[in-house]
């Protein structure tokens, strides 16, 4: 009998009971706005910022409405102006070039390697074209951050990390988001903590932090932040920094705080599932597994593999056959953007030039979510289905 997977690729685990109770407490007192507090009360949002700063080892943190807002806020706080160029990955998702475009800047795309990380040789070649790199750790793949920071330091590039897929990840013992000027994180449903939408921004730079807090919509209530610089820093910038409201509220912060306390355990669970899938996908003719560097501590909330140099019709046939057996794969090589997948040349508001070596990689990337609602046995079954269908199409082509 042909095996079929009947689970959901979009069903997340329930919100923890502790988080539900915390949310109910906020709903009962009604003070959802982060600055609406009673005497001696610390808001849920301010406490979340303090706890996330401690978790990442950052001096400052600001909680905002989304990961995309966090990136745009970071670019503004870094002084990016309309017309400036900003380097970013060719392999990423639409909110990253979208954040650059939202401040009137121009994305300059840097290529992707077979390990699905930014091409450091291409970065060297393009480093003189911008003063900021918005680095996307796309789908949780972290490049050699030591080498990247050497390149950026030598070139005067300031690094803002998009850590939407790497909350809880590390490179060489340093948490993702802590290598450059700032790190931006997402709390959207399919990320590592879930408040539906939400974002976090961390930095050690006091003026950058103060600008971010004021721009996020603090009015002159910045003293109600716990993970923030002193009032003298705000005095230097407050009259010259616009309010571009995008705050997080206390309801979402209350939902997130208990999840952050469980993050390390959740990362271990994701990686158990990732490793089962990875083992099941090894040694399949025509399929390339993405090798993870020893220095990388990743979070396996999704998995990617390459069908490199396959004809488009054959690759689509694999996807169709897997879908008929309940396994949802996404393709980053399609000419038209679809749902959460797109190519760097999909965004017509951003000029791009063809990158043949990167185009070859993008044309072969297949991507799959790994929700924690999957059991280890589910992962074994999914790997068997992919193995069977890739093998069948590969053999028919041969």
| Per-residue pLDDT, 1 | 63
Are both 57 and 103 inside the same structural domain? yes
**Average pLDDT value for residue range 225-240:** 97
Is the pLDDT at 143 greater than 70? The verdict is yes
> Within a 10 A sphere around the Cβ of 124, how many other Cβ atoms?
14
Q: Cβ(368)–Cβ(9) under 8 Å?
A: yes
Classify residue 338: in a domain, yes or no.
Answer: yes
CATH of the domain at 134: 3.40.640.10
What does the pLDDT look like over 170-225, one tens digit per residue? 999 999 999 999 999 999 999 999 999 999 999 999 999 999 999 999 999 999 99
Position 196 in a domain: yes
Residues 108 and 238 in one domain: yes
Do 328 and 207 lie in one domain? The reply is no
Q: How many domains does the chain have?
A: 2
- pLDDT the model gives residue 140: 98
Which of 245, 261, 277 is the last residue before a domain boundary? 261
Average pLDDT value over all residues in the chain: 96
219, 357: one domain: no
Phi-psi region of 147 (alpha: psi -120 to 50; beta: other; left: phi over 0): alpha
35-to-38, 70, 212, 242, 286 alpha-carbon distances in Å: 9, 19, 16, 18, 56
Over residues 41-100, the pLDDT tens digits come to: 999 999 999 999 999 999 999 999 999 999 999 999 999 999 999 999 999 999 999 999
Inter-residue long-range contacts of 12-16, CB under 8 Å, 24+ positions, other chains counted? 12/189, 12/190, 12/194, 12/371, 12/372, 12/373, 13/371, 13/372, 13/373, 15/194, 15/255, 15/259, 16/258, 16/259, 16/262
Same domain, 223 and 300: no
Integer Cα distance of 38 and 57 in angstroms = 29
What pLDDT, on the 0 to 100 scale, is given for residue 196?
97
Is the residue at 4 inside a domain? no
**Beta partners for 109?**
88
pLDDT at 337: 83
pLDDT, residue 397, reads: 67
Q: Is residue 225 domain-resident?
A: yes
Residue 189 shares a structural domain with residue 284: no
My answer on whether 237 and 271 are in the same domain is no
* Two tokens, residue 355: 């990158």
pLDDT of residue 120: 98
Strand-pairing partners, residue 110, are 89
Output the pLDDT for position 339.
76
Co-location of 301 and 257 in the same domain = no
Q: Is residue 276 part of a domain?
A: yes
| Domain span holding position 160 | 17-261
User: Is residue 398 predicted with pLDDT exceeding 70?
Assistant: no
pLDDT tens, position by position, 336-355: 888 778 889 888 899 889 99
Q: What is the pLDDT of residue 40?
A: 92
Do 136 and 23 share a structural domain?
yes
- Whether 257 and 296 map to the same domain: the answer is no
Tokens of 55: 């978790």
Question: Is residue 221 located within the same domain as residue 288?
Answer: no
Task: Kindly state whether residue 2 falls inside one of the protein's structural domains.
Answer: no
Please tell me the distance from the alpha carbon of residue 171 to that of residue 186, in angstroms, as a whole number.
19
Examine the fold and report which residue of 238, 261, 284 is the final residue of a domain before the chain moves on: 261
CATH number at residue 308: 3.90.1150.10
pLDDT value for 334? 86
pLDDT at 338: 81
| Paired tokens of 316 | 């689509």
Single residue among 232, 261, 290 that ends a domain in this structure: 261
Q: How many whole angstroms separate alpha carbon 13 and alpha carbon 185?
A: 20
């Amino acid at each position: 009998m042909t095996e079929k997977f009947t689970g959901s690729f979009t069903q997340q685990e329930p919100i923890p009971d502790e988080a539900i109770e915390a949310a109910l407490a906020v709903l009962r007192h009604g003070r959802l706005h982060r600055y609406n507090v009673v005497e001696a009360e610390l808001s849920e949002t301010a406490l979340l910022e303090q706890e996330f700063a401690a978790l990442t080892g950052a001096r400052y943190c600001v909680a905002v409405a989304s990961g995309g807002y966090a990136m745009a806020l970071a670019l503004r706080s870094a002084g990016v102006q309309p017309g400036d160029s900003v380097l970013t990955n060719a392999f990423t998702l639409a909110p990253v070039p979208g954040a650059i475009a939202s401040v009137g800047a121009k994305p300059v795309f840097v290529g992707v390697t077979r390990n699905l990380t930014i091409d450091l040789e291409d970065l060297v070649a393009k480093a003189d074209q911008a003063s900021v790199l918005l680095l996307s750790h796309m789908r949780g793949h972290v490049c050699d951050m030591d080498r990247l920071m050497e390149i950026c330091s030598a070139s005067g590039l300031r690094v803002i990390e998009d850590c939407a897929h790497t909350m809880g990840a590390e490179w060489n013992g340093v948490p993702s988001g802590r290598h450059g000027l700032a790190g931006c994180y997402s709390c959207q449903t399919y990320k590592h903590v879930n408040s539906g939408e939400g974002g976090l921004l961390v930095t050690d730079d006091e003026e950058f932090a103060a600008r971010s807090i004021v721009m996020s919509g603090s009015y002159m209530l910045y003293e109600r932040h716990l993970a923030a610089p002193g009032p003298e820093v705000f005095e230097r910038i407050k009259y010259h920094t616009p309010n571009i409201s995008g705050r997080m509220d206390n309801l979402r912060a209350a939902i997130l705080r208990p999840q952050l306390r469980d993050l390390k355990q959740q990362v271990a669970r994701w990686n158990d599932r990732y490793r089962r899938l990875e083992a099941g996908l090894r040694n399949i003719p025509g399929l390339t597994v993405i090798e993870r560097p020893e220095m990388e501590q990743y979070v396996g909330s999704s998995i990617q593999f390459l069908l490199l140099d396959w004809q488009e019709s054959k690759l689509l046939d694999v996807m169709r056959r897997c879908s008929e057996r309940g396994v949802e794969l996404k393709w980053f090589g399609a000419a038209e953007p679809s749902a959460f997948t797109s190519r760097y040349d999909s965004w017509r508001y951003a000029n791009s030039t063809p990158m043949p070596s990167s185009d070859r990689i993008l044309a072969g990337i297949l991507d799959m979510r790994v929700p924690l609602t999957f059991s280890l046995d589910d992962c074994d079954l999914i790997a068997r289905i992919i193995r069977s269908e890739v093998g069948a199409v590969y053999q028919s082509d041969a």
